[in-house]
Structure 1
Amino acid sequence: MRQWIILFKKEVKESIRNFKWIWIPVVFILLGLTQPVVSYYLPDLLEQFGGLPEGAAAAFPVPTGSQVLAETLGQFSQIGLLVLVLAFMGAVAGERNNGTNIMILVKPVSYASYISAKWAHMVLLALVSFTAGFIFSVYYTFLLIESVPAAHIIQGALVYGLWLTFVVTVVLTLSTIIKSPAAVAFLTFGVTITLSLMSSLLPEIMTWSPGMLSSHSHSFFMNGYGNEGFWLSLMCTILMIAVMLSLAIYVFRKKEMAVHTT
């Protein structure tokens, strides 16, 4: 356990040195506070500067608080995920390419501790950034638009946090398999976009999909409960995260052992 804590602290210090603990939360905070502000002032902006006929701005009413929070998650799913993937795409592949991992693994360090410490740090940074941005979104939604039941907010945020954890795990797993960080990012985007599109277009077939978690979180904001198939999607996502993390450890061990025996 002491070894794991040392590795985890190493990851945190490295991210602080690279300012990831500053700019990633800042991006999420900006996204979080922008959405309710834009939603509230959009009708006035359209009326003043949109060149629309008189009264046309009324066709763009201010959305409800639940809708604003759901739209905020939409921003996180686009720009936020882009930022996270670009920040983490070299988690293992980058260190393997520049030889940093050799300096660590030359010591008696277990492969499971090495990978799991990276995963824990990546998840922590992603969830802290998401939480910071979402708090700003909730605050300005309450201030400008209307309140949303706290239980709905917490449940929806927890479900979306699991989706972020899934995406981060995909990045880490691909980073252990593929040497190129750019290829890791490309494939991660491909996986997440495919899951999201398939879940949106074929919800009856994709009830198990992690891509359904975003729509379930929206449902929690609106209604206080998930859509049909929520528990199946939740359990499948947790299982897939565990499988991918185990696969990442296994692949990393095999690759490193092959390097040391040649």
Structure 2
Amino acid sequence: MNAFIAFFKKEMMESIRTYKFYILAVVFVLFGFMNPIIAKVMPDLLGSLLPDGMTITLSEPTALDAWGQFYKNGSQMGIVILVVMFSGIMANEFAKGTLVNILTKGMARPTVIFSKLAAASIQWTISYLLCIVITYGYTAYFWTMAGVENLFISLLGLWIFGELMISFVILGGILFRSLYGSLLFTGGLVVAMTILSIFPQTSSFNPVTLSTMNLALLTSGYEVSKFLSASLVTIVGMIISIFASVVVFNKKQI
């Protein structure tokens, strides 16, 4: 446990010193402000861009529009930034050779993986929660939450998907020992899941459902049971990824 805590602190301090944590948090804080504000001003902005004499009728923005922006930013740019920020979490250790001294002094290899997973997860969770709190506060200020269903489940789903991405970049970094290998590995898996989502019958066990069907869940346009099923599969996939990381890392020559 002492080794885990020490390495966990080292990971957190490194993220702070290299500004990774700050960048991730600031990006999601900005998203938090942008989500409701963009939803609020979008009708007026579109109206101002129309040629003189042309008019279109737009419905008044609602809380659903703000959460729509939340999932658009979070599931696209947000997840991409998360993956890029942590793509070197294992790859950089191989490139710099910093693990040699640590492992030769007796630290268990699984401790390295779990410490890195914990540090990345905490940074992701804090950043994500900041975005949620700011978005919720401004959305509640501008509108009522009428018509917004299953918000907690929907938010939890995207968080779980982010955790899966972290487990993928860790496994990719161990397998290919490079930042680009980690990115390509994670990107390849996401592309595969996205292609699989073309077939509607796969949605109840496809992890990408947690980043694409959130808004539909808020309007009860998607079944909660299918979303929960996809969440369970995603958690299992994350566990398998971490287990595979431990197995491969134990056999990997440093």
Q: Same fold (TM over 0.5)?
A: yes
- Is 1:28 the equivalent of 2:56? no
| Residue number among 198, 203, 214 corresponding to 2:200 in the alignment | 203
> Partner letter of residue 186 of structure 2?
T
| Residue number among 81, 84, 92 corresponding to 1:83 in the alignment | 81
Which residues of structure 2 form unaligned runs of 5+? none
SS state at 1:91 partner: coil
Cα pair distance change 1:107/1:150, threshold 3 Å:
farther
- Is 1:17 the equivalent of 2:17? yes
> Partner letter of residue 42 of structure 2?
L
Shift of 1:250: 0.9
> Partner letter of residue 55 of structure 2?
G
Shift of 1:141: 1.6
In the alignment, what sits opposite 1:147? Answer: 145
Query: What whole-Å deviation, never above 9, does each CA across 1:80-133 have from its counterpart, x for those lacking one?
Result: 112111111111111111111113212110111110110111111112111111
- Asked if the contact 2:64/2:148 (under 8 Å) is kept, the reply is no
Cα pair distance change 1:244/1:132, threshold 3 Å:
same
In the alignment, what sits opposite 2:66? Answer: 68
Compare 41-50 and 222-231 and name the one that shifted more: 222-231
In the alignment, what sits opposite 2:112? Answer: 114
Task: Provide the rounded CA distance (Å) in 1 between the counterparts of 2:142 and 2:78.
Answer: 23
Compare 153-162 and 93-102 and name the one that shifted more: 153-162
In the alignment, what sits opposite 1:138? Answer: 136
Task: Provide the rounded CA distance (Å) in 1 between the counterparts of 2:191 and 2:144.
Answer: 32
In the alignment, what sits opposite 1:248? Answer: 245
| Residue number among 87, 90, 93 corresponding to 1:92 in the alignment | 90
- Asked if the contact 1:46/1:52 (under 8 Å) is kept, the reply is no
Cα root mean square deviation, aligned: 2.2
In the alignment, what sits opposite 2:155? Answer: 157
Task: Provide the rounded CA distance (Å) in 2 between the counterparts of 1:155 and 1:148.
Answer: 17
Count of residues in Structure 1 that have an aligned counterpart in Structure 2: 254
Q: Which runs of 4+ in 1 moved over 4 A?
A: 148-151
SS state at 2:204 partner: coil
Using the aligned pairs only, state the percent identity: 24
Cα pair distance change 1:52/1:243, threshold 3 Å:
farther
> Partner letter of residue 34 of structure 1?
M
Task: Provide the rounded CA distance (Å) in 1 between the counterparts of 2:225 and 2:18.
Answer: 42
Query: What whole-Å deviation, never above 9, does each CA across 1:150-188 have from its counterpart, x for those lacking one?
Result: 983322211211111111111111111112201211231
- Asked if the contact 1:40/1:145 (under 8 Å) is kept, the reply is no
Compare 139-148 and 68-77 and name the one that shifted more: 139-148
